[in-house]
Amino acid sequence: MSFSGEVKEELQKQVAAARHCQIAELASILHFCGSLQAAEKVNNREEGVRPSSYGEKLVIQAENEAVIRKCFTLLKKTFNINTSVNEKRVGNSMKPGLKPRVRTSARIRAYDIELTDPVQIKQVLQAAKFMDKEGMLRDMRAPVSAMLIKNSCCQRAFLRGAFLSSGSMSDPGKSYHLEIVCTNLFQAEQIQTILLSFEVEARIVQRKKYHVVYMKDGTGISDFLNIVEAHKSLMNFENYRIVKEMRNSVNRRVNCETANIGKTVNASTRQAEDILLLQEKYGFENLPDGLKEMAEIRLAYPDAPLRELGEYLDPPVGKSGVNHRLRKLSELADNVRSQQGINR
Ligand SMILES: [Zn+2]
């Protein structure tokens, strides 16, 4: 199973104890996967219009079984509604709540729950605030009522439902990427805002007709798994991260050492240039004794580090003494250059 699938399996089993959280998660699932469908063809429902009769059914459908199983559990726990999960084959032209996918000629397997009892539909939609007390309907794709996600516990539940319904993440052994595909920008922004309240920054990108909330940093994804309470997945994810970090730190150290060697070579090349210029345009015999000896030693050992150069001097001097003399030589070379109009 993919890492993403494992996270969903874990989230399916993670059922909040409080009723407010259960309703928040259910509202999230309805928001992404739910739709009211005409039971008969003649029944034409318009938004904001009281359904003439409840000749409608509430369908919750997804390609991922975990979210539908979770929905089943929540309906049972919250409303004591007993339903069944149906498996079906659907065409490619799926309803927009589902993730876009590569077109294949094969028919896609999907799972759904159908509520047909008008009393139950009303009960569920009203609790999830998709229907008001008068029975007026709200667009299920519009942001979930703020009333339902006031508490951080309910926000966690909402995000859990969102990831189960429409989220995915890449295998952390390969790359860091977590996303939730939304059918509209308002939906995406609601998720982004909730994440921000947990101090997690996510971005939104438009992909064809979808708005995708995503994050690509290990810390953000780790925080997300923590927020939705996928603790087992979080541990697995962190293990991947540790291995990756160690590998990176070894690479960083190697790069760093290479860079330092480069620095030494560059500096010694410049010093050699300066000294050769002094030799030619100024004369070693005109240098004070300390500098003359330093110049000769530098030319004799072009690649030696400063500490080593100091040991060749008589009497030996420390690294800072060597540095001081080399700087003096360079200043002198710069003076000669400016006097004689020579460019480096
Ligand atoms: Zn809650």
The Å distance, Cα 16 to ligand 1 centre, comes to: 8
CA of 161 to the centre of ligand 1 (A): 13
Terminal-residue alpha carbon distance, the chain: 63
Contact indicator for 8, 65 with CB cutoff of 8 Å: no
The pLDDT of residue 52: 46
CA of 21 to the centre of ligand 1 (A): 4
Query: With 60 as the cut, is the pLDDT of residue 54 above it?
Result: no
% of the chain exceeding 70 in pLDDT: 89
**Centroid of ligand 1 to alpha carbon of 151 (angstroms):** 6
Question: What is the rounded distance in angstroms from the CA atom of residue 131 to the CA atom of residue 140?
Answer: 9
Distance (Å, whole) CA 156 – CA 336: 71
What pLDDT digit, counting tens, does each position of 100-157 carry?
555 545 577 899 999 999 999 999 999 999 999 898 999 999 999 999 999 999 999 9
Q: How far is the CA of 320 from the centre of ligand 1 (A)?
A: 65
Q: How far is the CA of 228 from the centre of ligand 1 (A)?
A: 12
**Helices assigned H by DSSP within the chain:** 3-13, 19-33, 65-79, 118-127, 152-166, 185-197, 218-227, 231-281, 289-300, 306-312, 319-340
Q: Using one digit for the tens of pLDDT, what is the confidence trace for 261-300?
A: 766 667 778 888 899 899 888 999 999 989 999 999 988 8
CA distance 268 to 305: 9
CA 58 – ligand 1 centroid, Å: 24
pLDDT of residue 41: 45
Element (H, E) at 34: strand 34-38
CB atoms within 10 A of CB 182: 25
Rounded to whole angstroms, how far apart are CA atoms 264 and 319?
14
Identify the band that residue 55 occupies on the pLDDT scale cut at 50, 70 and 90. confident
Using the mean position of ligand 1's atoms as its centre, give its distance from the Cα of residue 100 in Å. 31
Pick the more confident residue, 40 or 125: 125
Q: What is the pLDDT of residue 265?
A: 67
User: Ligand 1 centre and the CA of 154: distance in Å?
Assistant: 4
Report in angstroms the alpha-carbon separations of 176 from 163, 207, 240. Answer: 16, 19, 10
Better pLDDT: 228 or 306: 228
Query: Tell me, what's the pLDDT at 131?
Result: 94
Q: Give residues whose Cβ lies within 5 Å of ion ligand 1.
A: 18, 20-21, 151, 153-154
Please tell me the distance between residue 156's alpha carbon and the centre of ligand 1 in angstroms. Answer: 8
CA distance 91 to 16: 34
- CA 165/CA 25 separation, integer angstroms: 10
pLDDT digits (tens, 9 = 90+) for 290-328: 999 999 998 888 778 888 999 989 889 999 999 999 999
